[in-house]
């Protein structure tokens, strides 16, 4: 394995890797690995070529990394040369580094809110409708549960790849809208089931009392029903938000090339041809993603909302005391 060393003038220069030795010696990567690790049947001529190329390139074997090889695997993973706070600072100072997070947050939050809104409308419509055929809305909302994400992506590509009067003769493939539609579709079944369960907790007497006082259907929905089911709706939104932040299966088919979400960037950074800096940033992305998801869960499932309410209550009390 290659590692970093100090060159002339104290600058950091990268030493040769197995790929460099294989290219110089004209042999495969496996042959170089076998020669350096003293294993396998390799001809004397190839051993001589590999050793000569290693000496010319100044290659040095990392003895600590060699000890990582176990009996189950004969591959040694790439060790990141350095992980410091500069990597994390780059995430918040470079627009290129923070852009995947912004794109993923906008897409995930927008899709989670739209899925919750569509679910509320569908549940309310099915709940109050007396027509048995309207139950088809419920089964239609659960169809994405039966299909894999890749199949849904292909279906959206075929449906919105040509001009259609339903979408005002527009082609959505290659735009930023189709990924948002895909996110909403795959999260609609979960949102529908959870919000439907929340509607059962609403006391019908509250709605009847609001109607007796002359409140309209929309006003009753906005002032009576929504506040009751709001905690459940917020939990659904946060869970969908966390689930979409690092999505890759659907995103790989529908994302816009200029707006790459986090899942695409992390997958590209984990490729064997990616640079060391990109691989380091993938670890940073993962750590920050865990922190972001934990914060979202704290405010949605933990005591975060209660802490905010207590803080608002203290502010109101301070204003009252000042007067």
Percent of the chain with pLDDT over 70: 82
Of 79, 112, 144, which residue is a domain's last? 79
Question: 17 and 102, same structural domain?
Answer: no
Cα dihedral angle (227, 228, 232, 236), rounded to 10 degrees? -40
Is the model's pLDDT at 304 over the cut of 50?
Answer: yes
pLDDT score of 7: 40
Tens of pLDDT, residues 195-208: 988 888 888 888 88
Whether 3 and 17 have beta carbons less than 8 Å apart is answered as no
Three-state SS at 4:
strand
Question: 146 and 57, same structural domain?
Answer: no
pLDDT score of 4: 39
- Measured CA to CA, the distance from residue 292 to residue 260 in angstroms comes to 19
Question: 209 and 294, same structural domain?
Answer: yes
Token reading at 131:
């027509």
This prediction's pTM = 0.67
Percent of the chain with pLDDT over 90: 15
Question: 91 and 230, same structural domain?
Answer: yes
Tell me the mean pLDDT in the region 86-101: 76
Of 79, 111, 131, which residue is a domain's last? 79
Token reading at 221:
């929905």
Tell me the mean pLDDT in the region 203-221: 83
Question: 184 and 161, same structural domain?
Answer: yes
Question: 60 and 41, same structural domain?
Answer: yes
Question: 102 and 43, same structural domain?
Answer: no
- Measured CA to CA, the distance from residue 167 to residue 145 in angstroms comes to 25
What is the rounded average pLDDT for all residues in the chain?
79
Question: 102 and 27, same structural domain?
Answer: no
Of 79, 99, 115, which residue is a domain's last? 79
pLDDT score of 61: 67
CB atoms within 10 A of CB 269: 20
CB atoms within 10 A of CB 215: 16
Q: What is the CATH number of the domain that holds 111?
A: 1.10.3720.10
Give, to the nearest 10 degrees, the angle between helix 276-300 and helix 226-245.
170
pLDDT score of 11: 40
Higher per-residue pLDDT: 16 or 220:
220
Tell me the mean pLDDT in the region 263-280: 77
Is the model's pLDDT at 94 over the cut of 80?
Answer: no
Tens of pLDDT, residues 144-153: 888 898 899 9
- Measured CA to CA, the distance from residue 272 to residue 288 in angstroms comes to 23
Higher per-residue pLDDT: 25 or 308:
25
Question: 191 and 42, same structural domain?
Answer: no
Of 87-101, 174-188, 227-241, the poorest mean pLDDT is in 87-101
Tell me the mean pLDDT in the region 11-15: 48
pLDDT score of 173: 87
Question: 211 and 261, same structural domain?
Answer: yes
Tell me the mean pLDDT in the region 34-43: 76
Tens of pLDDT, residues 101-124: 899 999 999 999 999 999 998 888
How big is the chain by its Cα radius of gyration, in Å?
28
The domain in which residue 130 lies consists of 87-322
Q: How far is CA 298 from the centre of its chain?
A: 18
- Measured CA to CA, the distance from residue 17 to residue 3 in angstroms comes to 8
Which of 51, 61, 52, 50 lies closest to 2 in space, CA to CA?
A: 61
Question: 116 and 71, same structural domain?
Answer: no
Token reading at 125:
């419509």
Q: How many domains does the chain have?
A: 2
Is the model's pLDDT at 3 over the cut of 50?
Answer: no
Tell me the mean pLDDT in the region 176-197: 92
Question: 165 and 18, same structural domain?
Answer: no
Whether 193 and 246 have beta carbons less than 8 Å apart is answered as no
Q: How far is CA 306 from CA 212, 242, 298, 303, 315, in A?
A: 33, 21, 10, 5, 14
Q: How confident is the model at residue 9 (pLDDT cuts 50, 70, 90)?
A: very low
């Amino acid at each position: 394995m290659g590692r970093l060393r100090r060159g002339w003038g104290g600058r950091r220069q990268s030493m040769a890797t197995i790929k460099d030795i294989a290219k110089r010696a004209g042999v495969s990567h496996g042959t170089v690995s076998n020669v350096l690790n003293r294993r396998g049947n390799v001809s004397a001529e190839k051993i001589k070529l590999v050793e000569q190329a290693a000496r010319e390139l100044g290659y040095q074997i990392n003895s600590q990394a060699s000890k990582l090889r176990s009996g189950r695997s004969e591959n040694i993973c790439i060790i990141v040369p350095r992980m410091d706070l500069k990597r994390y600072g780059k995430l918040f100072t470079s627009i290129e580094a923070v852009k995947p997070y912004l794109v993923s947050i906008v897409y995930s939050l927008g899709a989670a809110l739209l899925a919750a809104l569509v679910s509320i409308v569908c549940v309310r419509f099915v709940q109050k409708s007396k027509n048995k055929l309207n139950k088809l809305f419920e089964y239609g909302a659960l169809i994405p549960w039966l299909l894999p994400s890749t199949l849904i992506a292909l279906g959206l590509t075929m449906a919105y790849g040509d001009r259609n009067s339903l979408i005002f003769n527009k082609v959505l493939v290659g735009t930023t809208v189709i990924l948002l539609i895909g996110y909403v579709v795959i999260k609609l079944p979960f949102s529908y089931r959870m919000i439907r369960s929340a509607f059962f907790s609403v006391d019908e007497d509250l709605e009847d009392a609001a109607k007796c006082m002359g409140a309209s259907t929309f006003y009753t929905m906005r002032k009576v029903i929504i506040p009751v089911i709001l905690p459940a709706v917020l939990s659904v939104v946060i869970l969908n938000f966390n689930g979409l932040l690092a999505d890759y299966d659907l995103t790989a088919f529908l994302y816009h090339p200029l707006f790459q979400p986090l899942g695409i960037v992390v997958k590209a950074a984990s490729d064997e041809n990616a640079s060391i800096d990109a691989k380091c940033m993938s670890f940073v992305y993962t750590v920050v993603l865990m922190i972001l998801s934990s914060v979202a869960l704290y405010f949605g499932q933990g005591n975060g909302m209660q802490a905010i309410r207590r803080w608002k209550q203290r502010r109101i009390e301070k204003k009252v005391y000042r007067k």
